[in-house]
Amino acid sequence: MKKITIITTISLMLTSSLVANSQNSPEELFKTKCVSCHLTFKPSILSTLVAPPIMGVMRHVKMSYPNKDKAIAFMKDYILNPSQDKSICKPQKIKRFGLMPSQKGLVTEKELDIILPWIYDNFPPKGFKGMGRVRGY
C-alpha cells in the first residue's frame, strides 16, 4: 500500500514537472503567444495571412540587426511598443497587415526573454529563400 502511494506520488510529480516544462518551453510559449498571427510555415493560401510568417520576420530582423543581443532588444521593445518608424518591415507589409498590435499585457518580458532567443536561433530555417509570392518579402 505504502509502495503504491510512493509510486503514485513520484509519477504525479514527474508528470506535473513535465507539463510545467513543456508549457514554459520557448516553442510552447511561441505557439500560445505568437503563432496565431505569425505562422511557422508558408500556408498554401497566402491571402489568409494576418501577419508575416516568422521565417520572413526573422530574416528581416537579422538583416537590420545581425547582432543577437541587439536583435532581441529591438524585438522586445517593438512587441510591447510597436510603431511604424521603428519597424524593420518594408512599408508595403505594414500597409497590407497593419501595424502589429502591442502585446503589452498579453506577453510578459520574462516570457519574451524565453521566446526571443529561440526564434532568433531557429528562424529562418537553413535554406529559406524568402516567401516567394508573398508581397513585401
Name the minimum Å distance from CB 103 to ligand HEC.
5
Applying CB under 6 A, which part among 9-17, 19-27, 32-40, 127-135 lies near ligand HEC?
32-40
Residue 117 near residue 67 (C-beta atoms within 8 A): no
Cell of 89: 518591415
Using rule CB under 6 A, residue 61 touches ligand HEC: yes
Applying CB under 6 A, which part among 8-16, 20-28, 49-57, 128-136 lies near ligand HEC?
49-57
Spatial separation of the C-alpha atoms in residues 71 and 61, rounded to whole Å: 7
Name the minimum Å distance from CB 127 to ligand HEC.
21
Residues 62-121 that bind ligand HEC (CB under 6 A): 75, 78-79, 82, 87-89, 93-94, 97-101, 103, 107, 115
Cell of 85: 518608424
State the burial class of residue 37 (Cβ atoms within 10 Å of its Cβ: 0-12, 13-18, 19+): middle
Name the minimum Å distance from CB 30 to ligand HEC.
7
C-beta contacts of 28-31 below 8 A and 24+ residues apart: 29/111, 29/114, 29/115, 30/54, 30/115, 30/118, 30/119
Q: For binding to ligand HEC (CB under 6 A), which residues are involved?
A: 33-34, 36-38, 51-52, 57, 61, 75, 78-79, 82, 87-89, 93-94, 97-101, 103, 107, 115
